[in-house]
Each structure stands twice: as structure tokens, then as C-alpha cells.
Amino acid sequence: MRCDIKDRKSRHTKFSFFLKRCYLKAIASNEFLPRRIRERAQHYVSYSRFMRNTSNRCKETGRARSVITDFQLSRHAFRLHAETGFLLGVRRSSW
């Protein structure tokens, strides 16, 4: 449960800075503005704290590796839920 809260918080932070980031990118690419202002905006876009990527984490275990993004579950949790029948429409493949 704690991992889910951490994941939600990081995604909310990234979303809240989305408009500010778009604004700074527009300033950095505007050719009509002075070069110093464009460079400062580019600096904030590339080195600021809202540039951190949010990793895909499992909602059950908080695991960051081998996450199936459609279900937001790690392979271990996915297999457990598929075997117990909690994931409708998921069948075990065989070849």
C-alpha cells in the first residue's frame, strides 16, 4: 500500500509541473526572445527537479522490474492473479 502512495505522489508531482514545463519549453524555443532569456529557460527545463521520470511500479508489491504496464503488476503478481482468476480474460499460453 505504501508503494502505491509513493507512485501516486510522484505521478501527481510530474503532472502538476507539466504546464510549467511546457511554458519553459516554449520560451526556450522562441527565436524572437533574447538569447539570455532562452538559455535560462532551457537551463530550468533540463536541470530542474520536475524532470525526474516516474518509473512504472507494481501496484501490489512496489517492484520496479518486469512490470506489465497494461495491468500495472509485476510478473509475480500478474501470475498469481491470473492463476486465481482475478484477471478476467487472461489465459495461460501454451506452445
68 DSSP 8-state letter: E
At 56-94, the pLDDT tens digits run 778 888 788 888 888 888 899 998 988 888 888 887 776
The pLDDT of residue 70: 87
Query: Is the same domain home to 38 and 80?
Result: no
State how far the Cα of 79 lies from the Cα of 38, in Å rounded to an integer: 50
User: Collapsing DSSP states into helix, strand and coil, what is residue 73?
Assistant: strand
Query: Is the same domain home to 40 and 21?
Result: yes
Query: Is the same domain home to 22 and 48?
Result: yes
Query: Is the same domain home to 24 and 42?
Result: yes
Query: Is the same domain home to 5 and 50?
Result: yes
Print the domain residue range for 27.
1-54
Query: Is the same domain home to 69 and 43?
Result: no
pLDDT band (50, 70, 90) for residue 35:
very high
Residue 1 has pLDDT above 60, yes or no: no
The pLDDT of residue 49: 59
Alpha helices of the chain — where are they, by DSSP H? 2-16, 18-29, 35-47, 75-84
Query: Is the same domain home to 12 and 42?
Result: yes
